[in-house]
Amino acid sequence: MPESTHLPRRHFLATVVSAGFASSVSHSSRAAQPTTNAEGPRNDTSAAASEPNRHVLKSQPLPEPEVILPTDALAVPKGAKKRVVAITTAYFKYSHADDIITKFIEGYGVVGRSHLPHCDVVSLYIEQFPKSDIGRGMAARYGIPLFDTPAGALTLGGKKLAADAVLLIGEHGDYPFNEKGQHLYPRRRLFEEIVKVFRSSDQSVPVFNDKHFSYSWQDAEWMYQQSRKLDFPMMAGSSVPVTWRRPALAFQPGIRLDSALAVGVGGLLEGYGYHTLELLQTFVEKRRGGETGIKAVQVLEGEATWQAARAGRWPVHLLPAAMATVPGARKGLSNLNELRQADPKAAVFLLEYQDGFQAAAYISHSMVSEFCFAASVHGQSEPVSTWCYTPKPQRDHFSFLCNHIEVMFRSGRPSYPVERTYLVTGALAALMNSHSADGKRQETPHLQNVKYTPAQEYTVR
């Protein structure tokens, strides 16, 4: 295709959105009728023409589901788009940078609905360039300047902040692991570069930090306190809790929970365990009395997982209910011995909350490769459960996450409380301490007063 006729995807989406999906084809409610007179068919019309044309059929209609996005609650955007600076460790296909930054550049679709963020990515900083890098190509294609330092990207090469919002994607890249199995991504260091520009410019803007704050609680605490001291909106978190839930499930604040279990895929205990914890917290933060903090945590692995199940230390009865929602998961396993034999290397995170509530996150190695959840609601005989649907390659879960981020960038108000991820970050760091100490229980006095009010979920009645 000649260059002059090439239409970038972003321009195509802008055209589609502005047109409002108006169709130029109208459909009659009745089939076309042959021309007749009072005496019957005309002499030059065959007898077959007096019947409806059997060769004109209806093709499969395009479904038109109602997709609700968080930005629907905002006023129609007016004025200039928000200038977004993107800072990332690595940018390749299906990396978190691609899943988030690319969606802010090009827009995205969710089940037939297209959305173009009222934002412009005005500069990029990429720390590493593997052979699979697409960041430089994206910058060149869309005319986005690529800077050698975070400060250069934030100031567009000047001396003052030149942005309305910041995306910090500190995920992926060639970074080491420590002896605890934690991936040492430089989120605190990159966040500090952002804060330095805020301070020197005497101005701050909303910041989104992908996934948990840091592998270190001390770093996480420093990052959180900077957002409070400089008074800028901040969000962080996982795409898993904000994706489609099948079957649909959400909790009203104040729900009475007897027990709760999130289930996630095994592999990297910290990396996938984080998503499982964030999913768990998204539901249990709605319990009666609100979030009051975490008193202690513990990680059990292998045979210790199943010994704890026998002792009633985690709600193993919820495991089949959660897995029953997931296509491809092991089904029909109900008793403890069957579950143990099917997943002998499983791990479990035990969480003791300050208000006495206890919950768990189960990390499967061979029974399930998705994220799901189940809970016992007080007064109900059967558990409620759901599967977090993360479709590939369209990756709707990141589309929903990007939409939540846009709410903060446009309104200045986080779409959900950053304290959720702050609490999960602290719990995960303590759990990795337990992992490195052969499963020793870890008290968490620093998390006992992390209190917050959960956000209203986007639900359909």
What confidence tens digit (pLDDT) does each residue in 188-215 have?
A: 999 999 999 999 999 999 999 999 999 9
CA distance 56 to 284: 55
Mean pLDDT of the chain: 90
**What's the average model confidence in pLDDT over 14-43?**
40
Amino acid 61: pLDDT:
87
Amino acid 33: pLDDT:
41
Which has more pLDDT, 9 or 187? 187
Amino acid 52: pLDDT:
64
| Banded pLDDT at 51 (limits 50, 70, 90) | low
Classify domain 242-391+417-447 by CATH architecture.
2-Layer Sandwich (3.30)
Indicate whether 357 pLDDT > 90. Answer: yes
Q: Where exactly does CATH 3.30.360 map onto the chain?
A: 242-391+417-447
Indicate whether 62 pLDDT > 90. Answer: no
Amino acid 50: pLDDT:
54
CA distance 331 to 325: 10
Indicate whether 37 pLDDT > 60. Answer: no
Amino acid 46: pLDDT:
52
Indicate whether 239 pLDDT > 70. Answer: yes
**What is the SS3 assignment for 185?**
coil
Indicate whether 32 pLDDT > 90. Answer: no
| Banded pLDDT at 35 (limits 50, 70, 90) | very low
**What's the average model confidence in pLDDT over 343-347?**
96
| Banded pLDDT at 11 (limits 50, 70, 90) | low
Q: How many CB atoms lie within 10 A of CB 212?
A: 26
Q: Give me the DSSP letters along 134-166.
A: -HHHHHHHHT--EESSHHHHHHTTSSS---SEE
Amino acid 1: pLDDT:
43
**Percent share of the chain, pLDDT over 70:** 88
Q: Where exactly does CATH 3.40.50.720 map onto the chain?
A: 78-237
**What's the average model confidence in pLDDT over 240-249?**
96
Indicate whether 15 pLDDT > 50. Answer: no
CA distance 276 to 143: 38
| Banded pLDDT at 99 (limits 50, 70, 90) | very high
**What's the average model confidence in pLDDT over 42-50?**
51
**What's the average model confidence in pLDDT over 277-289?**
97
Amino acid 270: pLDDT:
96
Residues 6+ apart with CB under 8 A from 85: 121, 122, 123, 124, 125, 153, 154, 163, 165, 166, 167
Amino acid 393: pLDDT:
87
Indicate whether 274 pLDDT > 90. Answer: yes
Segment among 34-43, 135-144, 176-185, 417-426 with least mean pLDDT? 34-43
| Banded pLDDT at 282 (limits 50, 70, 90) | very high
- Name the CATH superfamily for 78-237: NAD(P)-binding Rossmann-like Domain (3.40.50.720)
**What's the average model confidence in pLDDT over 300-323?**
97
List the beta bridge partners of residue 146: 124
Strand ranges (E), 107-233: 108-110, 113-115, 119-126, 146-147, 165-169, 207-210
Which has more pLDDT, 457 or 187? 187
Closest CA to 314 of 304, 329, 323: 304
Write down how long the chain is. 461
| Banded pLDDT at 49 (limits 50, 70, 90) | low
Instruction: Tokens for 449, please give them.
Output: 């007063």
Residues 6+ apart with CB under 8 A from 261: 280, 314, 315, 318, 319, 322, 359, 360, 361, 362, 373, 374, 375
CA distance 396 to 235: 19
Segment among 5-14, 119-128, 331-340, 379-388 with least mean pLDDT? 5-14
List the beta bridge partners of residue 358: 352
Amino acid 41: pLDDT:
46
**What is the SS3 assignment for 294?**
strand
Indicate whether 48 pLDDT > 80. Answer: no
**What's the average model confidence in pLDDT over 374-382?**
97
- Tens of pLDDT, residue by residue over 383-441, are 999 999 999 888 999 999 999 999 999 999 999 999 999 999 999 999 999 999 999 99
Long-range contacts at 217-221 (CB < 8 A, ≥ 24 apart): 217/425, 217/426, 217/429, 217/430, 217/446, 219/187, 219/188, 220/188, 220/422, 220/425, 220/426, 220/429, 221/446
Reported pTM: 0.87
Answer for the pair 259, 375: CB distance below 8 angstroms, yes or no: yes
Measured CA distances, 135 to 21, 131, 210 (Å): 31, 11, 17
